[in-house]
Structure 1
Amino acid sequence: MKLLFLVLAITAVFSPVSALHFYLDGGEQRCFFEELPKGTIVVGKYDAKEYDQNSGSYSQPDNLGIHLTVEETFDNNHRIVSQKADPNGEFSFSSLESGEHKICLRSTSHGWFSSNKVKIALDLAIGEGSHIDSKGEDKVSSLSERVQQINMKLTDIRREQQLMREREAGFRNQSESTNARVVRWTVIQLFILGITCAWQLTHLRSFFVKQKLV
Structure 2
Amino acid sequence: MLFHLIFLAFIFLPFRVSAFYFYGYGGDRKCFLKELSKDTLLKVSYNLGVYDGKLIDYALPSSNDYGIVIDVEEVFDNNHRVVHQQNSPSGNFEFLALESGEYKICFQSQVKNWVGKTKTKLEVEFEIGLGEMLKLKEKDALKSLHGRIGILTSKIMEIRREQQLVREREESFRDISESVNSRAMWWIVIQVILLILICVWQMKSLRSFFYKQKIL
Per the shorter chain, which TM-score range? 0.5 to 0.7
SS of corresponding position for 2:7: helix
**Distance between the aligned counterparts of 1:114 and 1:11, measured in 2?**
48
- Residue 112 and residue 97 in structure 1: after superposition, are their counterparts in 2 closer, same or farther (change >3 A)? farther
Query: Stretches of 4+ moved more than 3 A in 1?
Result: 8-15, 111-114, 133-138
**Distance between the aligned counterparts of 2:91 and 2:111, measured in 1?**
16
User: Is 1:98–2:100 an aligned residue pair?
Assistant: yes
Q: Calculate the TM-score normalised by the size of structure 1.
A: 0.56
- Residue 94 and residue 111 in structure 1: after superposition, are their counterparts in 2 closer, same or farther (change >3 A)? farther
Contact 1:43 1:126 in 2 (8 A): yes
**Alignment: residue pair count:** 138
- Residue 123 and residue 2 in structure 1: after superposition, are their counterparts in 2 closer, same or farther (change >3 A)? same
SS of corresponding position for 1:132: helix
1:7 equivalent in structure 2: 7
**Distance between the aligned counterparts of 1:37 and 1:10, measured in 2?**
18
Match for residue 112 of structure 2 among 110, 113, 119: 110
Contact 1:36 1:95 in 2 (8 A): yes
Q: Calculate the TM-score normalised by the size of structure 2.
A: 0.56
User: Is 1:31–2:31 an aligned residue pair?
Assistant: yes
Identical residues among aligned pairs (%): 38
Which residue identity lines up with residue 37 of structure 1 in the other structure? Answer: S
1:126 equivalent in structure 2: 128
The root-mean-square deviation of aligned C-alpha atoms, in Å, is: 2.6
From the two aligned structures, give the one with the greater helix fraction. 2
**What does the per-residue CA deviation read over 1:55-74, in whole Å, with 9 as the maximum and x for residues that have no partner?**
21111121121111000011
- Residue 28 and residue 115 in structure 1: after superposition, are their counterparts in 2 closer, same or farther (change >3 A)? same
- Residue 59 and residue 135 in structure 1: after superposition, are their counterparts in 2 closer, same or farther (change >3 A)? farther
User: Is 1:84–2:86 an aligned residue pair?
Assistant: yes
Contact 2:73 2:103 in 1 (8 A): yes
Unaligned runs of 5+ in 2: 142-216
1:16 equivalent in structure 2: 16
1:175 equivalent in structure 2: none
Which residue identity lines up with residue 45 of structure 1 in the other structure? Answer: S
Which residue identity lines up with residue 64 of structure 1 in the other structure? Answer: Y
- Residue 91 and residue 111 in structure 1: after superposition, are their counterparts in 2 closer, same or farther (change >3 A)? farther
- Residue 66 and residue 135 in structure 1: after superposition, are their counterparts in 2 closer, same or farther (change >3 A)? farther
Contact 1:107 1:114 in 2 (8 A): no
Contact 2:96 2:131 in 1 (8 A): no
Which residue identity lines up with residue 28 of structure 2 in the other structure? Answer: E
Give, in angstroms, the shift of residue 79 of structure 1.
0.7
Give, in angstroms, the shift of residue 80 of structure 1.
0.8
Give, in angstroms, the shift of residue 98 of structure 1.
1.6
Point out the structure with max Rg over C-alpha. 2
Contact 2:40 2:131 in 1 (8 A): no
**Distance between the aligned counterparts of 2:95 and 2:133, measured in 1?**
15
Contact 1:108 1:114 in 2 (8 A): no
**What does the per-residue CA deviation read over 1:139-192, in whole Å, with 9 as the maximum and x for residues that have no partner?**
xxxxxxxxxxxxxxxxxxxxxxxxxxxxxxxxxxxxxxxxxxxxxxxxxxxxxx
